[in-house]
Structure 1
Amino acid sequence: MIEKMSISSEARLCLALSQIQGFGLKQFHLLREQYGNPSSWRKLSFDALNQCISKPKVSSAVLDCLAQADHSLNHVSDWLKQDGCSVVCYFDSPYPEVLRQIHLAPALLYLKGNIGLLNHQNIAVVGSRKPSLQYADIAQEYAFHLAKSGMSIVSGLALGVDTKAHLGALAAQGNTIAVLATGIDRCYPAKNKDLYELIAQEGLLVSEMPMGSAPLRHNFPRRNRIVSGLSRAVLVVEAGIKSGSLITARYAIEQNRDVYAVPGSPKSLNSQGCNYLIREGARLVGSIEDLIIDLHKDLNVSGLTLKGVADSAHDEAQNVSDAAQLVLSAVGSDTISFDDLFERLEMSFEHLSEHLLELELAGLISSVSGGYQLGS
């Protein structure tokens, strides 16, 4: 069971400051750069505060907040009592160093799950919300092998490539981080509620948004900068020229992260974004083996291994799980859709997806237009 987490005095103060209208990340980082840790801010005069904040009413509210001996956690206290729930601020030791390096890094992170993944070797896998069947499979397969090789998969819990990336990592019994564009107590999209709950138990949910925040349009680019900020590299799998994944790639470049892209047909609108990134200097991914070798070489990832790629198909073919055998028995030579399998087998969404991937990797079934059938 995941342990309940305490909250530092600095995080309490940052939570209180975050409630002040007009006090945002720009003001937070100006104070941090000028005066260091928040404990030093308590000694500041109104004039010193207002030099950084430049808004007298906001400066006065900040001064009053800093003068308080203790700060109420009423708006998050019930949530913090749940297993695995915590809040860390920029100054706390669990806060990831790679995220501290980005422009306007989040002052606060709301977390649920395995907090240790914040400082793991992470790679972001992002792409289209409506990928083609082929590239959806690539996203899930690559995430599976990357997780097997020792990396954690970071994505945004969106439909499409994000979902496939999370499922691939979980199918490999690896680690995955979902960065949310809502408050951490809300799941968006609602279709991914089961996946959201599974990641909370077996991976990590992350959000900088206050509790209860809705999925507003302007929150998604903010989410994307954290997806890349937590990661050592970003892999884009099928994306149109206007895809939000290109925003993530742009943030990655600004943050000095490597960007990888899976090429596609020049006739495919859904591949224009990836092809553009490659023309602009992103590294072309020809195979998962090449990607893992490149990551090992450039990121100096300790313990990264190709064994999961070289051996997994053979091993899985020899010994798929009992649950996967049950799924296999429901797939015939005629195509059967995911929805029909879901209804017939009465498995959860994420477990059925995991077992289908297991069977695909073993070469026992294949994805075809409209669903799945026996054989490769």
Structure 2
Amino acid sequence: MHAETMVEKQQVVNDLAAWLRLQHLPGVGPVAARALLARFGFPPQIFSASFEALREVVSTSVARTIAEPPRRVANSQLELTLQWLQRPGNAVLTLADAAYPPLLLEIADPPLLLYVRGRAALLSRPGIAMIGSRNASAQGMQNAAAFAQSLSAAGLTIISGLALGIDTQAHEGGLRGQGSTVAVIGTGADLVYPKRNLDLAQRIAEQGCVVSEYALGLPAMPSNFPRRNRLISGLARGVLVIEAAALSGSLITARLAGEQGRDVFALPGSIHSTLAKGCHALIKQGAKLVESVEDVLQELQWQGGMDALAITPDAAPQSAVLAALGYDPHDADTLAGRSGMAVGAVMAELLALEMAGLVERLPGGLFQRCK
């Protein structure tokens, strides 16, 4: 029995070595790798195939590369990965694993390997991606946290990218609901970027799931993040954009979501806010305008069996300044003219409202309502 166990363990190591070797082959991306797998079966069969058979699927140069002995990078990655797998909660899912997320199999280029920290089962649960600006407004951050908490309470897993701003608040809200959260990262799964989210990443690994397609030890590089965005949308049934400027990277994820057949949702904002321009553009292009959690749940026809928390503004104190402010940015002089108050009194009221979290101070001496 002991001998059989040792043989089984060695087989697992050999299989992982073959997957890592395939992952690190120069010139072989996810599409070519899938073609090879479709033709030969599993990676060990690819590396034992004849040169002539390989040439029927890939170019001559790639076939030659496959026929070469394993590269040093694949061998070093195997050792690093085996050590990483010794830690509780860590796992590697291959394209052939039954636990591989079924929605990712629908996209054009699913990763060969997924490195997972935490609850891998969340990757196969119904989820919604929430994305937006890294430099979000106070109102945008509040909206992200509140929507994420409510959608998670309704049983949907919140999927985002661990960036600062909207992503951070989406994860925080997701952790407060039963659906929890998944962080799709643009580095190796053994690293955290940005460092400011180190504590958040640890909590997600303990209560939710952190996932990456990138090899262990790979640092943050600009090219990683647009590519990982296809996984954020690919894992989800829909993508909700909270705040996005006209040229925001969030719009790339929204476009990918549309190409993948996912629903795209967007929160509208003030016509004067640069952070609303991207959302308004998406709505013009056919994204669903969202004003409440119920808008998302109804569009997804979600019957999760758990009650969503209603998002309703806290009862704001009666304030002449708030009434004069409305929902667009204004300066103190304008508010004084509208409210009939002295500018000094308006500034004092604005300070109190800001400390209460009801008003946000913007650049240029402007103020905007938060609730």
Q: Fold match, TM over 0.5?
A: yes
Which moved further from structure 2: 47-56 or 253-262? 47-56
Matched, 1:193 2:225: no
2:269 corresponds to which residue? 264
2:24 corresponds to which residue? 19
Which moved further from structure 2: 283-292 or 157-166? 283-292
The structure-2 alpha-carbon separation of the partners of 1:200 and 1:312, relative to structure 1 and needing over 3 Å to count, comes to: farther
How big is the shift at 1:335?
7.2
User: For 2:13 and 2:98, how far apart are their aligned partners in 1?
Assistant: 10
- Answer whether contact 2:31 2:108 (CA < 8 A) is retained: no
How big is the shift at 1:246?
0.5
Q: RMSD value over aligned CA atoms?
A: 2.7
Where do residues 164-243 of structure 1 align in structure 2 (5 Å cutoff)?
Answer: 164-172=169-177, 174-243=179-248
2:138 corresponds to which residue? 133
Matched, 1:60 2:64: yes
Q: Which one-letter code corresponds to 1:309 in the other structure? A: L
Q: Which one-letter code corresponds to 2:267 in the other structure? A: V
Which moved further from structure 2: 194-203 or 32-41? 32-41
Matched, 1:74 2:74: no
Cα deviation, 1:56-104, whole Å, max 9, x if unaligned, reads 3x423423559xxx97821212111111111111111110110011011
How big is the shift at 1:203?
0.6
User: For 1:44 and 1:159, how far apart are their aligned partners in 2?
Assistant: 46
1:303 corresponds to which residue? 304
Q: Which one-letter code corresponds to 1:148 in the other structure? A: A
Q: Which one-letter code corresponds to 2:92 in the other structure? A: V
User: For 1:166 and 1:249, how far apart are their aligned partners in 2?
Assistant: 18
Where do residues 81-100 of structure 1 align in structure 2 (5 Å cutoff)?
Answer: 81-100=86-105
1:110 corresponds to which residue? 115
Larger Rg: 2
User: For 1:238 and 1:312, how far apart are their aligned partners in 2?
Assistant: 19
Cα deviation, 1:254-277, whole Å, max 9, x if unaligned, reads 110000000112222111111011
The structure-2 alpha-carbon separation of the partners of 1:187 and 1:102, relative to structure 1 and needing over 3 Å to count, comes to: same
How big is the shift at 1:213?
1.0
Cα deviation, 1:209-262, whole Å, max 9, x if unaligned, reads 111111111111111000001111100001011111111011101110000000
Q: Which one-letter code corresponds to 2:119 in the other structure? A: N
User: For 1:313 and 1:78, how far apart are their aligned partners in 2?
Assistant: 49
The percent of aligned pairs where both chains have the same amino acid is 40
The structure-2 alpha-carbon separation of the partners of 1:368 and 1:312, relative to structure 1 and needing over 3 Å to count, comes to: closer
Q: Which one-letter code corresponds to 1:303 in the other structure? A: G
Matched, 1:120 2:125: yes
How big is the shift at 1:122?
0.8
- Answer whether contact 2:150 2:310 (CA < 8 A) is retained: no
User: For 1:367 and 1:59, how far apart are their aligned partners in 2?
Assistant: 63
How big is the shift at 1:18?
1.9
User: For 2:353 and 2:202, how far apart are their aligned partners in 1?
Assistant: 30
Runs (4+) of structure 1 exceeding 6 A deviation are 311-314
TM-score, normalised to structure 2, is 0.77
Q: Which one-letter code corresponds to 2:80 in the other structure? A: H
- Answer whether contact 2:353 2:359 (CA < 8 A) is retained: yes
Cα deviation, 1:191-218, whole Å, max 9, x if unaligned, reads 1011011111111000001111111111
Q: Aligned to 1:256, what secondary structure does the other structure show?
A: coil
How big is the shift at 1:293?
2.4
The structure-2 alpha-carbon separation of the partners of 1:334 and 1:172, relative to structure 1 and needing over 3 Å to count, comes to: farther
The structure-2 alpha-carbon separation of the partners of 1:121 and 1:313, relative to structure 1 and needing over 3 Å to count, comes to: farther
User: For 1:311 and 1:132, how far apart are their aligned partners in 2?
Assistant: 18
Cα deviation, 1:100-155, whole Å, max 9, x if unaligned, reads 11011111101100011011011000001111111111011000000000000000
Q: Which one-letter code corresponds to 2:131 in the other structure? A: V
Matched, 1:47 2:38: no
Structure 1, unaligned runs of 5 or more: 1-5, 315-332, 338-364, 371-375
1:369 corresponds to which residue? 360
The structure-2 alpha-carbon separation of the partners of 1:103 and 1:266, relative to structure 1 and needing over 3 Å to count, comes to: same
TM-score, normalised to structure 1, is 0.76
User: For 1:255 and 1:214, how far apart are their aligned partners in 2?
Assistant: 28
User: For 1:185 and 1:263, how far apart are their aligned partners in 2?
Assistant: 37
User: For 1:45 and 1:95, how far apart are their aligned partners in 2?
Assistant: 29
How big is the shift at 1:187?
0.6
- Answer whether contact 1:151 1:304 (CA < 8 A) is retained: no
Matched, 1:143 2:144: no
**Residues paired across the two proteins, number:** 312
Q: Which one-letter code corresponds to 1:228 in the other structure? A: S
Cα deviation, 1:153-201, whole Å, max 9, x if unaligned, reads 0000000000000001112354100000111111111110110111111
Structure 2, unaligned runs of 5 or more: 1-8, 315-350, 362-370
- Answer whether contact 2:22 2:43 (CA < 8 A) is retained: no
2:327 corresponds to which residue? none
How big is the shift at 1:49?
1.2
Q: Which one-letter code corresponds to 1:60 in the other structure? A: R
The structure-2 alpha-carbon separation of the partners of 1:65 and 1:101, relative to structure 1 and needing over 3 Å to count, comes to: farther
User: For 1:311 and 1:134, how far apart are their aligned partners in 2?
Assistant: 13
